[in-house]
């Protein structure tokens, strides 16, 4: 037993499979490093729809609010695709983000040396890349009112979404970016469309003010979101920390993660504000989705979920050396040639892969390799 509480939400598709491998790492940590957790597990997304008729139940939300951290798998699949907007599996995730007030979404885009060839970009453009995107996660057009679809007097339909940001919402997420930059290359690039959107004007203004007031030691630049989408491809090494709103963050972080060529490797953390004791509500999830096409086949890559667990050790429990251990084990296993199918690009068959010193493994073998390496 321990005083660390963890809620595990495997979700749909490959979520449960990859979570099983992380359980092995959790068990190893408990036994060998005395890092234990009180673990609760629950359904979310399609699994919760099947069980409770809702993409996340009130009880699950309550458990998430009480836990020290939530480890999330992935949600969605063809079975629930035709449900109306408010019942889709994704709403479970969006509700958790909102009710836990997880306003800062940290999405690293890191290129592993062993995987540099997996990128569709030239190696000289992406080698050694290490960008951190901070995406605002609880406001903007994802949640602003009014929103909906109505019929106009002329018989046409009209859809409406509203993007709202307050100065406080902008400042708190920019503060996270500045703080993180101080522990990295000390550079923040803030992205918006201040040439077109009023929320963009406010965003640029508040980022500039906060920078002047409290973070003058950090380098701050501003870029329009469209220009940033270009610059990420032109010369990604120019970036250290990028901070942006919910919708731009959704698109730009997906673009950035594709630079690495290995979505199956990338974790994310979603953090709330620190309470009186310094503790932040937090949810960790891989950036990949539920991948229904390969679910249940035992071939999914469990490393993004494993790295999400490592991020949790670091950000929620201040266990940096344990997080380092896990991350190093992942790097070593890759360097030793272990590859799940998604990391074998160019359709190498088993023989061709072997000739290159690579070993094609399934989900469980990869999990076992990590534990062995630990």
Ligand X SMILES: CC(C)[C@H](C(=O)O)[C@@H](O)C(=O)O
Query: Is residue 356 flagged as an active site residue?
Result: no
79 marked among binding-site residues: yes
Chosen residue from 190, 199, 308, 316 binding a second copy by CB under 8 A: 199
Question: Segment contacting ligand X (CB under 6 A): 86-94, 121-129, 171-179, 357-365?
Answer: 86-94
294 is in an annotated binding site: yes
Nearer to a second copy, 155 or 278 (CB): 155
- Applying CB under 8 A, does 216 fall inside the site for a second copy? no
- State yes or no: 183 annotated in a binding site: no
243 touches 206 (CB < 8 A): no
Q: Is 224 labeled as catalytic in the residue annotation?
A: no
193 is catalytic: yes
The region of 15-23, 51-59, 87-95, 292-300 touching ligand X under the rule CB under 6 A is 87-95
Among positions 92-111, residues that touch ligand X (CB under 6 A) are 93-94
Per CB under 8 A, 95 contacts a second copy? no
- Work out whether the CA dihedral 253, 258, 261, 262 comes out positive or negative: positive
Binders in 181-210 for ligand X, by CB under 6 A: 195-196
According to CB under 8 A, which one of 32, 58, 78, 148 is a site residue for a second copy? Answer: 148
Angle at 139 between CA 133 and CA 142, to 5 degrees: 95
Which part of the chain contacts a second copy (CB under 8 A), choosing from 213-221, 245-253, 307-315, 360-368?
A: 245-253
DSSP for 255-316?
A: HHHHHTT-GGG-EEEEEEEE-TTS-EEEEEEESS---TTTTTTT----HHHHHHHHHHHHHH
Is residue 250 part of the annotated active site? The answer reads yes
Residue 119 annotated in ligand binding: no
349 is catalytic: no
Which CB, 125 or 197, lies closer to ligand X?
197
Spatial distance between the Cα atoms of 309 and 28, rounded to a whole number of angstroms: 13
The 10 Å CB-count burial string (b at 16+, else e) for 298-311 is ebbbbbbbbbbbbb
- How far, in Å, CA of 150 to CA of 146, rounded? 11
Q: Which does 318 bind (CB under 5 to 8 A by kind): ligand X, a second copy, none?
A: none
Asked if omega into 146 is within 30° of 0 (cis), the reply is: yes
Helix axes 303-317, 15-33, angle to 10 degrees: 50
Site for ligand X in 33-52 (CB under 6 A): none
From 39, 94, 341, 374, residue interacting with a second copy (rule: CB under 8 A): 94
Residue 226 sits in the site that holds ligand X (CB under 6 A) = yes
Q: Judge whether 13 is annotated as a binding position.
A: no
Find the helix or strand (DSSP H, E) in which 240 lies.
none
Read off the DSSP letter of residue 64.
H
Angstrom distance (rounded) from CA 304 to CA 315 = 16
Q: Using CB atoms within 10 Å of the CB of residue 6, give its burial: 0 to 12 exposed, 13 to 18 middle, 19+ buried.
A: buried
Binding site for a second copy (CB under 8 A): 85, 88, 90, 94, 120-122, 125, 141-142, 144, 147-149, 152, 156-168, 193, 195-203, 206, 225-227, 229-230, 232-235, 247-248, 250-252, 254-255, 257-259, 263
Residues at the binding site for NAD(+) are: 77-90, 289-301
Binding site for ligand X (CB under 6 A): 90, 93-94, 195-196, 226, 250
């Amino acid at each position: 037993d321990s005083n660390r509480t963890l809620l595990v939400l495997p979700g749909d598709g490959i979520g449960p499979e990859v979570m099983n491998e992380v359980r092995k790492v959790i068990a190893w940590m408990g036994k060998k490093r005395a890092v234990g957790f009180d673990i609760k597990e629950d359904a979310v997304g399609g699994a919760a729809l099947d069980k409770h008729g809702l993409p996340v139940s009130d009880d699950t939300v309550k458990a998430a609010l009480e836990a020290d951290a939530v480890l999330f798998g992935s949600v969605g699949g063809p079975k629930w695709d035709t449900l109306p907007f408010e019942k889709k599996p994704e709403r479970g995730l969006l509700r958790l983000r909102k009710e836990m007030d997880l306003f800062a979404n940290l999405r690293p885009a890191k290129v592993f040396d062993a995987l540099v060839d997996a990128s569709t970009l030239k190696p000289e453009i992406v080698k050694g890349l290490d960008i951190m995107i901070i995406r605002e996660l609880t406001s903007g057009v994802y949640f602003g009112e009014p929103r909906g679809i109505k019929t106009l007097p002329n018989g046409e339909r009209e859809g409406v979404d509203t993007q709202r940001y307050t100065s406080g919402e902008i400042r708190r997420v920019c503060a996270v970016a500045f703080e993180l930059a101080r522990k990295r290359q000390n550079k923040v690039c803030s992205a918006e469309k201040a040439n077109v959107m009023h929320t963009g004007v406010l965003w640029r203004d508040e980022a500039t003010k906060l920078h002047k007031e409290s973070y003058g030691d950090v380098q701050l630049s501003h870029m329009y979101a469209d220009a940033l989408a270009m610059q990420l491809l032109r010369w990604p090494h120019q970036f250290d920390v990028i901070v942006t709103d919910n919708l731009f963050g959704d698109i730009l972080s997906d673009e950035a993660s594709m630079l690495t060529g290995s979505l199956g490797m990338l974790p994310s953390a979603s953090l709330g504000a620190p309470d009186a004791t310094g503790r932040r509500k937090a949810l960790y999830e891989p950036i990949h989705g539920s991948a229904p096409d390969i679910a249940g086949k035992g071939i999914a890559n469990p490393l993004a979920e494993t790295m999400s667990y490592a991020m949790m050790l670091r950000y929620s429990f201040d266990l940096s050396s344990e997080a380092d251990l896990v991350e190093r084990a992942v790097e070593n296993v890759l360097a030793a040639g272990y590859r799940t199918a998604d990391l074998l690009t160019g359709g190498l068959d088993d023989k061709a892969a072997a000739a290159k010193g690579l070993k094609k493994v399934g989900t469980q073998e990869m999990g076992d390799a990590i534990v062995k390496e630990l």
